[in-house]
Structure 1
Amino acid sequence: MKWITTSLFLLFFVAAKAQTCLGVWITIDDKTGKKKSKVELYKKDDKLYGKVIYLYPREGREDNPKCKKCTDDRKDQPLVGLQIVRGLKWDGSEWEDGTIVDPENGKVYTCSIWIDRDDFNKVHVRGYVGPFYRTQTWVKATD
């Protein structure tokens, strides 16, 4: 009986660990389908945050771009290191009620993030403006 209990605990732990949003994720450009950046999602004070840690090279972009269109404390801050996800709370199945900024237009959206149920190497990131939303899929970074 002790062996069964231990086995079930280990299986639950492995499954829970596999389903975490924490870690480094690759963002994909909606228009081109190409890799855009790497974002690290991390917890602080039981809330989820995310910052850009790498930008994939893109023709025509300056070497160290800044968030020129941001209107809050992120204005003119370098994109690498920029906290784009802020203050999401865990509701038992997804992270919600936080914000995400689009550095290209400076707009801040209400945000929710959840693991893909069929592929734990993907998260869905949804930004809302009222009843309207757009969802992106980010892919787990392996390098």
Structure 2
Amino acid sequence: MKKGFFVLLLSAVVFSVWAADPVEGLWKSVDEDGKPTAYWRIYVKDNVLYGEIVKIIGKPNDAIATAAKPSYKNFPIPGEVNKMKIVGTPWIYGLRRKAEGQWEGGNIIDPSKGDIYQCKITFRKADGKKFKVDTLEMRGEIGFGLGRSQFWVRSEESEINS
């Protein structure tokens, strides 16, 4: 009996360590007017959260981030950022897990303007009231808590490919 309980407990611990954080996956960015702007893949690598655009609404997938600066502090890949494709580049980077579904301490770059912001991401589970569907609160700040939030919605591969 004790052996069975121990195996069950160990399995639960291992599963919880390997389980994906709810922020991971495909998300559709939505602006303040409720219009979709892009599709993003949010992922964790070596305990750090990243986000890459996988499709831009209204632009070709080979568009270059010419409005970006040539470099940004702690940018996760080498090269001149303003010569990189918008799709496939980690515009969200350096976030660390505060708690399940909560990440902070990193940055987000707006590749269409070149602006960089401190970034916080919070997963908001669908509750049928304020959040009708699973939502990511994407908070960009310039410092001292000054900034704004966008609310992104979960997406599927089929939506991206359509």
Using structure 2 for the length normalisation, give the TM-score.
0.70
Cα RMSD, aligned residues only: 2.7
- Structure 1: stretches of 5+ with no match in the other structure: none
What are the residue-to-residue correspondences of 1:1-143 with 2, within 5 Å? 20-31=22-33, 33-56=34-57, 58=58, 61=59, 64-71=62-69, 72=71, 73-93=80-100, 94-117=102-125, 118=127, 119=131, 121-131=134-144, 132-142=146-156, 143=158
Unaligned stretches of 5+ in structure 2? 72-79
Contact 1:19 1:115 in 2 (8 A): no
Identity value in percent: 27
Q: What CA deviation, in whole Å up to 9, does each residue of 1:32-69 have, x standing for no partner?
A: x222111000111101001011112x2xx466321111
Offset, 1:76: 2.2
Determine which structure has more spread, i.e. the larger CA radius of gyration: 2
Aligned-partner SS, 1:75: helix
Paired with 2:41 and 2:93, the residues of 1 have a C-alpha distance of: 12
Deviant stretches of 4+, over 6 Å:
none
Q: TM-score, normalised by structure 1?
A: 0.78
